[in-house]
Amino acid sequence: MSEPKDRPYHHGDLRRALIDTALAMLAVDQNWAFTLREVARRTGVSHAAPYKHFRDREVLLRELARIGFVRLEETMTEAMSPAMPSTRAQFVAAAQACIGFACQNPALYRLMFSSDADKTMDPQLHEAAMSTFGILLGLLDKGQRNGSFRPVAVSALAAASWAQVHGLAMLEINKQLLEEKVGSSPVPAALDVLLDGMCCTD
């Protein structure tokens, strides 16, 4: 893991290396023990080096959150791309992709939606989050146009489906969805109930 000699004094692209290390840590450390010093250590650099690239811890966190939104958007877009029999099926696929992303990157997902990553502090982060949200809006709009979803205010559908998916994701990654509470397959069950309210009667 550590090459003692061959590293030149100047790293080359420490900024990117720090981000990569941090993302790798977030992917492994479910439990959110994230320290700048540990990131520096694993990157093989002194604990003060990161401050040349990030004003403070929060700035790095916000950058990680931004990348998280980009990746989530990619994940959801991929999940939606195959031919689907209905917009409803596409919605389910996107929702499950989002929840799957959260399960595979729990710490990153939590970070993305925590107030640690305050979006008012960082226009780029805000933009990334809005862009990801745009996928949902696009899907809802399409569903309304083709008669799949009820013609109520799209913002209401957006609020409901976002809350539902985010709620399921948060409960899942925090291990709250115990079988004794919500049965053995809560995610599809919950999505079905919600979609019954969103969809036009067949």
Partner DNA sequence: GTTACAAGTTTCTCCTGTAAACATGGAGGA
Partner DNA sequence: TCCTCCATGTTTACAGGAGAAACTTGTAAC
4 is a site residue for DNA (CB under 7 A): no
Rg, C-alpha atoms of the chain: 20
Residues facing 149 on adjacent strands: 199
One of 1, 4, 8, 120 touching DNA (CB under 7 A):
8
One of 47, 55, 174, 200 touching its own copies (CB under 8 A):
174
192 is a site residue for its own copies (CB under 8 A): yes
One of 4, 9, 175, 202 touching DNA (CB under 7 A):
9
Site for its own copies in 27-86 (CB under 8 A): 30-31
Backbone angles phi, psi at 84, to 5 degrees: -125, 145
Residue pair 160/198 in contact (Cβ under 8 Å)? The answer is yes
One of 15, 42, 71, 186 touching its own copies (CB under 8 A):
186
16 is a site residue for DNA (CB under 7 A): no
Residue pair 195/91 in contact (Cβ under 8 Å)? The answer is yes
CA distance 23 to 106: 11
Helix (H, G, I), strand (E, B) or coil at 113: coil
How many C-beta atoms lie closer than 10 Å to residue 192's C-beta? 11
Site for DNA in 53-112 (CB under 7 A): 53, 56-58
Q: Name the minimum Å distance from CB 66 to its own copies.
A: 15
177 binds, among DNA, its own copies, none (CB under 5 to 8 A by kind): its own copies
Nearer to its own copies, 13 or 56 (CB): 56
52 is a site residue for DNA (CB under 7 A): yes
**Residue 121's closest CA among 189, 26, 56?**
56
51 is a site residue for DNA (CB under 7 A): yes
CA distance 166 to 168: 5
Orientation angle between helical segments 154-173 and 87-104, nearest 10 degrees: 30
Residue pair 113/65 in contact (Cβ under 8 Å)? The answer is no
Site for DNA in 165-194 (CB under 7 A): none
121 is a site residue for DNA (CB under 7 A): no
Which residues of this protein are in contact with its own copies, per CB under 8 A?
30-31, 113-115, 118-119, 130, 133, 150, 152-153, 155-168, 170-171, 173-177, 180-183, 186-187, 189-198, 201
